[in-house]
Amino acid sequence: MVTGDEYPGVNRRTERRVRSLSILPRGTLLGALLIAASAVMLASKGLFAKALYTQGLNYHDVAAIRSVLAVPGFVLIAVINGQRTRRSQSFFTPWAIVAAAASGLLCYYLGSLMDFYALTLIQANVERALLFSYPAMVVALQAVLTRRWPPLSTLGALCATTVGIVLVTGAADTTLTAEEIEGVAWVLFCSMTIAIYFLVSARLTLSMGSANFTAIAMTAAGVAFLVHYQLTTPGWLAIDLNAGSALTMLGLVVFATILPLFFMAEGVRRIGASRGALISTLGPPATAIMAYEFYGEILTPAQIIGTLLVVLAVAFLELRSRQRQKTANAAAEHAHNTTEKPA
């Protein structure tokens, strides 16, 4: 999350309306707690997936069932949001709906499918550290779209992220297997889809509201998985989950998908994208701790250093972005006050 302020390019009147599109009451402490909880809950996704793999499910099963079961939850949140914010109407255009659906297909269908496949090839703690490189990808994409080079300090942070990824993945280790290299590549692909999703959502949630945007994106992905699973497997009617697998899947859907994504969106509304991203750096360390506790997955010293590099680089990018935005806001306010003075 590398936008500089909470609602970039939006006037105060619109910002007040945007804030009213959220469900939970406002509050900085509440926002921080929501994002911290979201980071830890999202960090458990890979662990739930690996548990389901050991129970006989494959990555097609986990990705498809998770996506389809999550749709009603996100739709319910959007409906509740609409009932509680009748005075502040969300604005939908055909383009916005198509863009939200397309970003959902890219991130939550293609990206998610490849991510769950990658978890069959690499450790959960490595996967989480790699996924966390998406803010650096956002910066890179913004540089391409605006055709402007980022500042040298930002380029340094991007280089640090790259070095961190190399250390985390062991890319310099010639003993890496072909499967591990493939797993790393798919996680980086997934990270890129998250970056694109973030750029689209940052623009559309201002008018649609985070709950509506997420519901449309997840519904599009759910429909895609509904068709995908029916065509590439024996079909939905052939699914046979025992009680243990059903409970684990429920945990993946509720505690590692619906609630954390909703908490993250609501938390960002209260404390801003920059501070939200800083708090979300809890994710990779949380995954490493849980992976060690539950599966005995241990990071090497080089991987620990790489994880820290990625986390610190993301933190720097957010602080830098916030500082630039404060400077821009101060300049804009000064210019506004100057123009209002009588001649």
Judging by beta carbons within 10 Å of its beta carbon (0-12, 13-18, 19+), is residue 230 exposed, middle or buried? middle
Top-confidence range, 141-155, 169-183, 185-199: 185-199
93: left (phi over 0), alpha (psi -120 to 50) or beta: beta
Confidence of residue 326 (pLDDT cuts 50, 70, 90): low
Confidence of residue 14 (pLDDT cuts 50, 70, 90): very low
The pLDDT, as a whole number, for residue 21 is 44
Confidence (pTM): 0.75
H runs (alpha helix) in the chain: 12-19, 28-43, 45-54, 59-84, 94-104, 112-118, 124-131, 134-146, 152-169, 178-208, 210-232, 243-253, 259-271, 273-279, 283-295, 301-340
Residue 130 or residue 247, greater confidence: 247
Confidence of residue 12 (pLDDT cuts 50, 70, 90): very low
Average pLDDT, the chain: 79
The pLDDT, as a whole number, for residue 129 is 78
Top-confidence range, 62-66, 79-83, 135-139: 62-66
Residue 185 or residue 150, greater confidence: 185
Give me the mean pLDDT over the 72-80 stretch.
Answer: 84
Give me the mean pLDDT over the 164-186 stretch.
Answer: 77
CA atoms 118, 275, 99, 68: torsion sign: positive
Judging by beta carbons within 10 Å of its beta carbon (0-12, 13-18, 19+), is residue 309 exposed, middle or buried? buried
Confidence of residue 5 (pLDDT cuts 50, 70, 90): very low
